[in-house]
Amino acid sequence: MPAARKDKPPRPPRPPRAWRRVAAGALALLSRLEPVTALVTLATIAAISLVATSTPIAATVYQVPLVVAFALCLLHAASLPVAVVRPTIAVPLSLGTALGLQSFGTVPEAAAWPWWVVLIVGQSLVLLIVALRSSWRLATGAWFLSVAAPAVLAMVRHPERLDPSSINLVVFASIGGTSVLIGVVLAQWNEIRAQLLRERSLTVEEYSRRRLVEDRARIARELHDVIAHGLSIINVQSTTAKYRNPGLDPAVEREFDEIAASSRQALGEMRALLGVLRDSGPSEQAPQPGLGDVPDLVVQAERAGAQVRLDWFEGDAVEDVTELVGLAAYRIVQEALSNAIRHASGVPVRVRGRRDDSLIRVVVENDGGTTRDPATAGSGFGLVGMRERAESVAGTVTMEDTPGGGYVVEAVLPVRGADQESERP
């Protein structure tokens, strides 16, 4: 039996060849450049290569004088980097120099003419760059002239070579047309990509602006609901203190008058601030007081001198009410009480809460005597805020005058808010 062959040890991996390292370094360098600069660099490298190859071919194969061949090949190759920055100049430059090379010298029997192989490569690159950097109309026109002008030259100068010249022109037309097509497709792809990037940027900016508006609306709402309400209570308490507590010392009365004036000034400044911050649009709700805190709100209003009768939910009637619905109901009652204290001071106010299957009804009503004192006139943000509070949980709120000259605010809110409305068939 033949002896078993021993497995050879694996060869160590070969180090990358020098040209691969050079290519990798060149690509890394080009990736750091601007697109136009990188394209000009590549076009310049291609132009140097074309001059080095086309000049000897023109001088030896086609018998073009060396000086003329070098000059025309140099200009034709120079049209490559020129096409990157000035496509309208590169088209006549490349076509004119190509026709000049085709016109000088002789045409050997077996040589490709009017477009040599090197000229086909150079002119196709020019057409590709023109299609990338300019409109498809210019690129298509350049391709058509690059086919038509040499065809006329072939018929005039060498009518006896029409068949091989026609084949040569067909080959060039195919390669040049493909270059134009590739350039147009790449240009359109770049344009679509740039447009998508712009749209994405605009979308991000619009989202940021919307978030800013929502934050400003939320801040304005919370300022109005919390701070403005407290300032209104302070204003009413300090204004009515001397009537609720007769026999106060004159110095104390002046102190209360100053507090009332300062609170009115603060309310005015607060309304101006709300005018800057406020903007229509949805805003996020933060969990705050709910239905169980309304009795404390009524006690606070009574301390300010209001006569409030509360007929509120009993027991576990509102245990399944979500926090957002409870917050909306609380804010609506808070705003309605604040309006009643400001505009109908001393008039009895009734606050009622009722459960109706999957809905809760909150009513705040006063009997009359509503006044519109300019010193206590509101900015209207509170009424808008009540509507927005109700709409944020898929509810409604109505505000209207009563036959007796009073005013009533009634809110109807789903127990589970917007989730309940979305579950309806």
Distances from the Cα of 389 to the Cαs of 147, 227, 282, 298, 333, in angstroms? 73, 17, 10, 20, 11
For the stretch 109-145, pLDDT in tens is 888 889 999 999 999 999 999 999 999 999 999 999 9
Q: Burial of 218 by CB count in 10 Å (0-12 exposed, 13-18 middle, 19+ buried)? A: middle
**Per-residue confidence (pLDDT) for residue 282, from 0 to 100:** 45
For residue range 98-107, list pLDDT tens digits in order.
Answer: 999 999 888 8
pLDDT at residue 288, rounded to an integer: 65
Q: Are 93 and 82 a contacting pair, CB within 8 Å?
A: yes
Structure tokens that stand for 108 in this block: 């050997």
Average pLDDT over residues 145-157: 93
Mean pLDDT of 232-241: 78
Average of per-residue pLDDT across 263-273: 72
The C-alpha atoms of residue 250 and residue 200 are separated, in whole angstroms, by: 67
pLDDT at 1: 44
pLDDT at 291 over 60: yes
Strand order across the beta sheet in which 396-401 lies: 308-311, 349-356, 359-366, 407-414, 396-401
Euclidean distance between CA atoms 312 and 292, whole angstroms: 9
Mean pLDDT, the chain, integer: 81
**The pTM of the whole model exceeds 0.75:** no
Range 409-424 average pLDDT: 74
Band of pLDDT at residue 387, cut at 50, 70 and 90 = confident
Q: Beta-carbon neighbour count of residue 278 at 10 Å?
A: 22
Over residues 175-191, mean pLDDT: 93
pLDDT value of residue 66: 92
- So what's the pLDDT on residue 26? 61
Q: How confident is the model at residue 64 (pLDDT cuts 50, 70, 90)?
A: very high
Average pLDDT of span 67-79: 95
Name the more confident of 24 and 334: 334
Query: Helices 250-277 & 229-244, crossing angle to 10 degrees?
Result: 160
Token pair of 88 as six digits:
């309208």
Higher pLDDT, residue 294 or 283: 294
Confidence band (pLDDT; 50, 70, 90) for 381? low
Q: pLDDT tier at 28 (50, 70, 90 boundaries)?
A: low
The pLDDT score that the predictor gives to residue 43 is 92
pLDDT tens across 39-57, in order? 888 899 999 999 999 999 9
In this prediction, residues 376-396 reach a mean pLDDT of 75
- Give the confidence band of 287 by pLDDT, cuts at 50, 70, 90: very low
Per-residue confidence (pLDDT) for residue 285, from 0 to 100: 43
Judged against a pLDDT cut of 70, whether residue 155 lies above it is answered with: yes
Q: Which percentage of the chain shows pLDDT scores above 70?
A: 77
Predicted confidence at residue 99, as pLDDT, reads 94
At residue 263, the pLDDT reads 78
Mean pLDDT of 86-100: 95
pLDDT value, residue 363: 94
Which has more confidence, 264 or 425? Answer: 264
User: Using a CB cutoff of 8 Å and minimum separation of 24, what contacts does 336-340 make?
Assistant: 336/364, 336/386, 336/409, 337/297, 337/298, 337/301, 337/306, 337/308, 337/364, 338/228, 338/229, 338/232, 338/233, 338/382, 339/378, 339/382, 339/407, 340/306, 340/364, 340/366, 340/407
Residue 211, pLDDT above cutoff 60: yes
